[in-house]
Amino acid sequence: MTFKHFFSLLLTVTVAATLFISPMAVAETWRITSLDWQPYSGSDMEDQGKSIALLRDILARNGIELIVEFYPWKRAQNLAKTRKYVGYFPAWPEEVAKGFTASPPVDWSTIGIMTYKGSSLVWESMEKLYENHKVITIATYIYPQNIEDAMKQFPGNVIRSPDETLCSKMLGKKRAKAAITDPNVMLYSAKKAGITNIEILKNDLQKKALVIALRNDDASKERIEFLNKILSQD
């Protein structure tokens, strides 16, 4: 084989390889903002949290690299409005702000009622809970409508905590009868803080989707179609 023939063959093989390259090799990067909401997302966790790890794996299998930047929740939502970011994650559907569109569910969270051991609290209804007891909520969360309505009806019994860690400390010291949040997050925060007297009163108040709040633009329309396709396969 002459050098000319060898070079021609090499060129043909290279072109063919380029034409039939797998989509997995196509480089694309999604940058999102997130919050410390462990165990779902966390800046100091090895895998950055179970929901972040799940999203990263789904995207990596489709040739997309995920970069996550962690901020306080309100700042994370505001920064995600800029073109630098695809959006923010994880969010309950109620937390998808104006100017963003919710992706299909990536993971799932639950909303439950927490209390302290020996509280003798009995679950009847959301209205009865707020009518008769002090209840801690997280100030930055947008809760489902029935919980928001109960808070508005009995504002004097609402204690707003800036984060889960302080919420678990207040509940552990019996400054309120109950707290409403994701039980996994509350128990994780309590364990890290060395609080051992918190327990679940009602675990399955609501099951909540964890979605990506995608910034509204032409690219997001394509991303939503893409996520609809790949998430339906998982």
pLDDT along the chain (234 residues), means of 10: 48 43 61 97 96 97 96 96 96 95 95 96 95 96 93 97 95 97 96 96 93 90 88 74
Q: How far apart are CA 234 and CA 225, in angstroms?
A: 15
pLDDT at 228: 86
Residue 10 is predicted with a pLDDT of 45
Is there a contact between 159 and 103 (Cβ–Cβ < 8 Å)? Answer: no
Task: Write down the pLDDT at residue 195.
Answer: 96
pLDDT score recorded for residue 110: 95
Domains of the chain: 24-107+210-231 (3.40.190.10), 109-208 (3.40.190.10)
Q: Angle between the 183-192 and 164-172 helix axes, to the nearest 10 degrees?
A: 80
User: How far is residue 12's CA from residue 15's CA, in Å, rounded to a whole number?
Assistant: 5
Specify the pLDDT at position 1.
54
Task: Give just the sign of the alpha carbon dihedral 158, 147, 73, 34.
Answer: positive
Q: Alpha-carbon distance 88 to 95, whole Å? A: 10
What's the CA gap between 42 and 37, in Å, rounded? 6
Give the per-residue pLDDT at 220.
83
Q: Helix (H, G, I), strand (E, B), or coil: what is residue 122?
A: coil
* Cβ count within 10 A of residue 158: 18
Handedness of CA 137, 142, 147, 150 (dihedral sign): positive
Is this structure's pTM higher than 0.75?
yes
CB-side exposure of 228: number of CA atoms within 13 Å? Answer: 8
